[in-house]
Structure 1
Amino acid sequence: MNVNSARGSLSAAFACVLVGGSFTANSLLGEYPYAGGQFLRYGLAFLLLIPLVGRGAMAAVRRLEPRQWARLCLLAAVGMVGFNLAVLAAERTAEPAVPGVLVGCAPVVVAVLVPLLDGRRPRRIVLYGALLVAAGAFTVQGWGRTDTAGIAFSVCALLGEVGFAVIAVPLLRPLGPRLLTAVVCAVAAAESALVGLLADGGDWLRVPDTTETLVLLWQAVVVTVVGFICWYLGVQRIGAERATLFSGLIPVAAACTAPLVGAGGYGAAQAAGSALVAAGVALGAGAFGGRGARRPAGAGAPTGRRDGARARLGSVPRGGRPGGDGGH
C-alpha cells in the first residue's frame, strides 16, 4: 500500500469512527424537530466550510453544469436527508439493529455496483473483503424485531448509504472534498427546510436548548465538517469500493464506546465481529498481498480533494448491542 492509499484509508476509517462514536450525542436530540435539526446541522456546517474552500471556489461552482447540479441535489436527497428519514421510519417498527444490519451490507453492494458502472468486473478480493465486513457488522449488532415496513425502510437506508458514496464520485474531480462537502451541505440544508415546511409547517424549527445546541454543534463541526471531508478524501484516494469497506467500523466504534456511557457491553460477539470487520478491511485493501491495493479504474484523481440518523446507526438497541443508527 503506497502513501496515498494509506492516507486515503486512514481518512475513510477516521470518518467512520467519528460516525460510530457519535451515537450518544445523537440520542439527546429525540425531542428536537427532525428536519429543523438537519437544517441547523448542515447550514452551520456550510458556514464553517466557507473559509476552507479556497479562493477558486466560486469559479468552480459556476462551472458546474446542470447535470452536475442535479447530481448534487440527488446526493443530498438520497445520501443525507433521505437516508436519515429512512432510518427514522425503519425504527418506528424495527429495532435499531435492523437498519444497521442492512446498511452493513453497503460494502457488498458498492463492491459490485461501482465496477459494473465502470464497465468492468467486480474485483474478487474487494468483494470477499466486503462480505467479511458485512458479516462482522451483523455479528457486532445482531438482529432485532421488525416487520415488513421496517425491512422496507431499512432497504431504503441501505440505498441511501450506497448513494452517499457512489453518487459523489463524479463530483470529486471538479470540486474536491472540501468544496463538495460545502456545496452538498448547502443543498441538504435547503432540502431539509423544504421537508420541514411541508411536513411540520411552522413547528419545523425552534430554538434549541443548551444540550441540543451542544449536540448540534458536535454534529455540524465534528461529524459533518471533519467527517465528510475525511470521507470524501478517502473516496478520492482509494475509490468508493474500498472506502465503503470502512463503514463496517461504524458499529465497531459504537460497540467500543457503549460501555463508556453505560449503554451496553462489549462482549464476545462484539469482539468477534470487530475481528471480522478488521479482516475484511485488510483483505479488501490488499494488506494480505492481493490486488485490492491497486488504484481502481474510475477512482477520482487527487484534485488538490450520516439528523443524526447515521450517527444513530451506531446506537445501542434494546438488548445492549450497538445498532445501526449513525448519520450522514
Structure 2
Amino acid sequence: MKATTRGTFLAALACVLVGASFTANSVLGDYPYAGGQFLRYGLACLLLLPLLGRGGTAPLRRLTTRQWARLALLAAVGMVGFNLAVIAAERTAEPAVPGVFVGCAPVAVAVLVPLLEGRRPQRLVLYGASLVAVGAFTVQGWGRTDGAGIAFSLCALAGEVGFAVLAVPVLRPLGPRLLSATVCAVAAVESAVAGVLVDGTAWLRTPDAIETAALLWQAAVVTVVGFVCWYMGMQRIGAERATLLSGLIPVAAACTAPLVGTGSYGVAQALGSALVGAGVALGSSAPARTTPPGRPARARERRRPGAVPRGRG
C-alpha cells in the first residue's frame, strides 16, 4: 500500500471514529466536564505508554521550551478548549451550528499551513476543502442559534484548526505515538487544574455504568486509536490533505445516528456525503510538493524544521 493511500486511510479512520463517537458524548451531559476530560485523556495516556517501547520518551528531553509551549497550547486549544467550546455552543445553539463551523476547518488549514511554511496555498486543495465544507453544511443543515452560540462555534473552529496546525512542527521530532501520549498527559493536567479552579471539589465524581462505558470508548477508541491514526495519516499526507478528511466527521455522525434513534439519513445527507467525497478526491489530486531543482531536500528541512514530510510512511 502506497504511503499516500495508507495515510489517507488512517486519517479517514480517525475522522470516522470521531464522528461515530457523538453518541458517547450525548450520555455524558450530566458528568462534570473537566472531570470527564481528565479521565478520558489520563486513561488514554496510560494506554499509549506501552506502545512507545523502550526509550520511547527519550525525544521529550530534546524538546525546546518553545516546543513544550506549543504542546501545551495544542492540548488547551485543540483538545480541552475544543470540547468545551462545542458544549458551550450547544447550550444556546442546535448541534448543527458548531458542526457547520467546524466543517470549515479544511479551508482554514488549506490556507494557514502553506502560509506558515512560506509557500502559496494549492488551488486544488483549496477548492477541495471548499467542497468539503459545503458538503458538511449540507449533511448537517443549519439550526437555531444566537450570538453566544456563534461565538463558541467560532472557538470550536479555532480548536479544530489548532489541533492540526499546532501539531505540524512537533510531529517530526516526536512521532504520532509519543505526540499523542504527550498531549493527552498535558490535556489531563490542564483539565484537572481547570476543574479545581472552576468546580472545586465537585469537578470529579465516580461515573455510573453508562458514563464509564462512554468514557472508556472515548479514551481507548476515539483518543488512543483515533489520535494515533490521525497523526500517522497527517505525517504521510500532510496537514492540508488530512484535514480534508475531517468532512467525514459529520458524515459518520449522520450515518450512525439512525442506529441509535437520534437522527435520520435522507437525501440531504446523501448529497452532502457525495460533496464531501468529491472534495476529498479533488483536494487529494493536487500534486505533492517537490524540492526545487538544485536544492537538496535535507537543506530545505534544516531551514524549515517544522515542515511535515510529504511522504509519510
Contact 2:96 2:140 in 1 (8 A): yes
Shift in Å, 1:296: 7.4
SS of aligned partner of 2:92: coil
| Cα RMSD after superposing both structures | 1.6
1:213-239 per-position Cα deviation (integer Å, ceiling 9, x unaligned): 111110000000000000001111111
Letter in 1 for 2:81: G
Superposed, 1:126-275 pairs within 5 Å as: 126-275=125-274
Identity of aligned residues (%): 76
Q: Distance in 2 between matches of 1:169 and 1:137?
A: 24
1:29-55 per-position Cα deviation (integer Å, ceiling 9, x unaligned): 111100000000000000011110122
Q: Distance in 1 between matches of 2:50 and 2:275?
A: 40
1:93-124 per-position Cα deviation (integer Å, ceiling 9, x unaligned): 11111100000000000001111111111100
SS of aligned partner of 1:121: coil
SS of aligned partner of 1:219: helix
Q: Distance in 2 between matches of 1:116 and 1:94?
A: 33
Shift in Å, 1:203: 0.2
Q: Distance in 1 between matches of 2:52 and 2:35?
A: 25
Q: Give the structure 2 partner of residue 121 of structure 1.
A: 120
Contact 2:238 2:309 in 1 (8 A): no
Q: Distance in 2 between matches of 1:302 and 1:176?
A: 14
Give 1 or 2: higher helix fraction.
2
Is it true that 1:301 corresponds to 2:312 in the alignment? no
Q: Distance in 1 between matches of 2:312 and 2:121?
A: 28
Q: Give the structure 2 partner of residue 33 of structure 1.
A: 32
Aligned length: 299
Shift in Å, 1:304: 9.1
Shift in Å, 1:295: 4.6
Q: Give the structure 2 partner of residue 311 of structure 1.
A: none
Residues 193 and 302 (structure 1), Cα distance of their counterparts in 2 relative to 1, 3 Å cut: farther
SS of aligned partner of 2:70: helix
Is it true that 1:44 corresponds to 2:38 in the alignment? no
Q: Distance in 1 between matches of 2:232 and 2:57?
A: 20
Q: Distance in 1 between matches of 2:53 and 2:278?
A: 38
Shift in Å, 1:89: 1.2
Letter in 1 for 2:137: F
Structure 2 residues not aligned, in runs of 5+: 292-305
Q: TM-score, normalised by structure 2?
A: 0.93
Letter in 2 for 1:223: V
Letter in 2 for 1:6: T
Shift in Å, 1:303: 11
Letter in 1 for 2:133: A
Shift in Å, 1:25: 1.6
Shift in Å, 1:70: 0.4
SS of aligned partner of 1:29: coil
Q: Give the structure 2 partner of residue 315 of structure 1.
A: none
SS of aligned partner of 2:27: helix
Residues 303 and 224 (structure 1), Cα distance of their counterparts in 2 relative to 1, 3 Å cut: farther
Structure 1 residues not aligned, in runs of 5+: 287-291, 306-328
Q: Distance in 2 between matches of 1:176 and 1:303?
A: 14
Residues 124 and 194 (structure 1), Cα distance of their counterparts in 2 relative to 1, 3 Å cut: same
Residues 244 and 300 (structure 1), Cα distance of their counterparts in 2 relative to 1, 3 Å cut: same
Contact 1:94 1:147 in 2 (8 A): yes
Shift in Å, 1:23: 1.1
1:243-302 per-position Cα deviation (integer Å, ceiling 9, x unaligned): 00000000000111111111111100000000000000000001xxxxx14157875239
Contact 1:110 1:162 in 2 (8 A): yes
SS of aligned partner of 1:192: helix
Q: Distance in 2 between matches of 1:285 and 1:106?
A: 16
Q: Distance in 2 between matches of 1:186 and 1:136?
A: 34
